[in-house]
Structures are given as structure tokens and as C-alpha cells.
């Protein structure tokens, strides 16, 4: 059986917290319905100030600039997940065309 992922955070660990800044009811009028129907939320990273905590606990953190904030613990040692994407055939094709053009230009240049 796979082990449960470690969910406990210890004091000093880098963690990410979540805060609801405004509930849907508190959001101003005049914004699109798809937006107004959702809460206005924030995620912030910092070092855990509590001795120990679990995902979902309300915790206090010290941010990179030393401010203290509180919120719900959502991740321990948060990872940057953005990446370079998949090679895309349409982009690969543009590269090949450009190289053909350069190649042709080189041949014309040599022929001079």
C-alpha cells in the first residue's frame, strides 16, 4: 500500500497558506457573473511559525520579508509546477521552415 504523503509541517518549514479575502456576497457589483459567483482568494508562502500543523489547519507564517500572516495551510514545501510545455508540431514546423530559408540563402550566397 502506498504510504500517506507527509502532510505535517514543522516550525520553520516553507509552507503555503490560503485565505478567502472576500466571499461572493462581499464582492462588488458590476463584475462578470462567472467571477462574482466565486470567492476572492489568495495564496501566500512563508515559514511556519507554529510548532506543528496539518494541512487544513489555521496557521501563522512569516513571509520572505518577515511579515506575519495567518491562513489555512494548503501545502508544505510548495513546488513550482510551471514548465516548458510539450513540443508543439506547429512550432516545430516554423523552425524547420526558417532553417530551410537560411540554407537557401547560404547556397545563393556561395553561388555569387
Partner 1 sequence: MENNISYPSVMSRKNEILKHSVGIDYQEFEISPIAFDYEGLINCCGYSLSDVQRIQAETGVGNTPLVELKNITELVQSISAPGKGGRIFIKDEKACPSGSFKDRRASLSVYHAAQLGYQGVVAATSGNYGAAVASQAAKYGLKAIILQEVYDSRKVGQPEILEKTRACEAYGAEVWQLTVGPELFYIMLRILEETDFFSTSLYIPTSVSGIETLGYELAQQVMGREGRFPDMVVIAHAGGGNVTGTARGLQKAGSHETLVVGATVDLRGLHMASDYDFNRKSFTTAHSGFGIPFLIWPDRTDVPRSVARGLRYLDRCVLISQGEVFYVTELLAKLEGLERGPAGNTSLAAAIPLARELDRDQILVVQETEYTAAGKLPSSQLTFAEENGVEVRRGDPKDNVPGRVIVIPERVEQVQVEDVDLSEIRRSYIKRAIEATGGRQLKEKDILFMAEDSRGSIEFIYKTLNSLGIETPEQ
| Cβ proximity to partner 1, 1 vs 91, nearer residue | 91
Looking at the chain, list the stretches that DSSP marks H as alpha helix, in order from N- to C-terminal side: 33-36, 89-111
Which of 3-11, 51-59, 93-101 is the region at the interface with partner 1 (rule: CB under 8 A)?
Answer: 93-101
Q: Which residues in the 17-76 window bind partner 1 by CB under 8 A?
A: 21-22, 26-28, 31-32, 34-35, 37-46, 63-67
Name the minimum Å distance from CB 108 to partner 1.
11
| 95 part of the interface to partner 1, by CB under 8 A | yes
Q: Which residues pair with 91 in a beta bridge?
A: none
Q: Taking CB under 8 A as the rule, does residue 111 contact partner 1? A: no
What nine digits make up the cell of 90?
A: 506547429
Pair 69, 61: CB distance under 8 Å? yes
CB of 79 to partner 1, least distance (A): 11
Quick check: 93 binds partner 1 (CB under 8 A)? yes
Q: Nearest-CA neighbor of 66 among 79, 49, 54?
A: 49
- Which of 48, 38, 42, 110 lies closest to 76 in space, CA to CA? 48
Q: Count residues near partner 1 (CB under 8 A).
A: 43
Amino acid at each position: 500500500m502506498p504510504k500517506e504523503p507527509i502532510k505535517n509541517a514543522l516550525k520553520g518549514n516553507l509552507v503555503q497558506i490560503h485565505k478567502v479575502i472576500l466571499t461572493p456576497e462581499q464582492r462588488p457589483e458590476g463584475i462578470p457573473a462567472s467571477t462574482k459567483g466565486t470567492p476572492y482568494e489568495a495564496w501566500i508562502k512563508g515559514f511556519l511559525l507554529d510548532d506543528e500543523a496539518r494541512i487544513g489547519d489555521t496557521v501563522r507564517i512569516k513571509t520572505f520579508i518577515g511579515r506575519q500572516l495567518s491562513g489555512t495551510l494548503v501545502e508544505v514545501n510548495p513546488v513550482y509546477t510551471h514548465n516548458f510545455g510539450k513540443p508543439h508540431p506547429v512550432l516545430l514546423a516554423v523552425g524547420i521552415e526558417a532553417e530551410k530559408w537560411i540554407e537557401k540563402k547560404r547556397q545563393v550566397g556561395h553561388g555569387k
